Structure 1
Amino acid sequence: MRKSYYAAHVYMILGVISGLYYREITKSHHFEGDTQLSVVHTHLLALGMLGFLIVLALDKQFQLSGTRLFPYFFWFYNAGIAITVLMMLVRGTQTVLGNHVPEAVSWIAGLGHIILTVGLILLFVLLGKRLNEPAEPEPAEPESVNT
Structure 2
Amino acid sequence: MTKLLNAAFLYMVLGVTSGLFYREFTQANDFPEGAFTQLGLAHTHLLTLGFIVLLIVLALEKLFTLSASGRLFSWFFRVYNAGVVLTSGTLIWHGSLTVLGKESSAMIAGIAGLGHIFLTAGMVLLFVLLRRAVTRESSAEPHELVAA
Fold shared, TM-score > 0.5 on shorter chain: yes
Matched positions, count: 138
Which AA in structure 2 matches 1:65?
S
| Higher helix proportion | 2
Unpaired runs of 5+ in structure 1? 138-147
Which AA in structure 1 matches 2:62?
K
Give, in whole Å, the separation in 1 of the partners of 2:101 and 2:112. 20
Aligned-residue RMSD, C-alpha = 1.3
1:94-105 correspondence to structure 2 within 5 Å: 94-105=97-108
Which AA in structure 1 matches 2:4?
S
Query: CA-to-partner distance for each residue in 1:83-136, whole Å, 9 max, x for gaps?
Result: 011110110000000011111100110011001100000000010011011455
What secondary structure does 1:133 align onto? Answer: helix
Does residue 21 of the first structure (1) align with residue 24 of the second (2)? no
Give, in whole Å, the separation in 1 of the partners of 2:27 and 2:137. 56
Does residue 73 of the first structure (1) align with residue 69 of the second (2)? no
Q: Which segments of structure 1 move beyond 2 Å, counting only runs of 4 or more? A: 134-137
Give TM-score scaled by structure 1 length.
0.90
Find the counterpart in structure 2 of residue 31 from structure 1: 31
Does residue 6 of the first structure (1) align with residue 6 of the second (2)? yes
Unpaired runs of 5+ in structure 2? 142-148
What secondary structure does 1:35 align onto? Answer: coil
2:89 to 65, 83, 86: 86
Instruction: Decide whether aligned partners of structure 1 residues 85 and 134 sit closer, same or farther in structure 2, where only a CA change above 3 A counts.
Output: closer
What secondary structure does 2:108 align onto? Answer: helix
Aligned residues with identical type, % of pairs: 49
Which AA in structure 1 matches 2:98?
T
Give, in whole Å, the separation in 1 of the partners of 2:55 and 2:6. 10
What secondary structure does 2:117 align onto? Answer: helix
Does residue 113 of the first structure (1) align with residue 128 of the second (2)? no
1:127 to 105, 127, 130: 130
Give, in whole Å, the separation in 1 of the partners of 2:108 and 2:25. 20
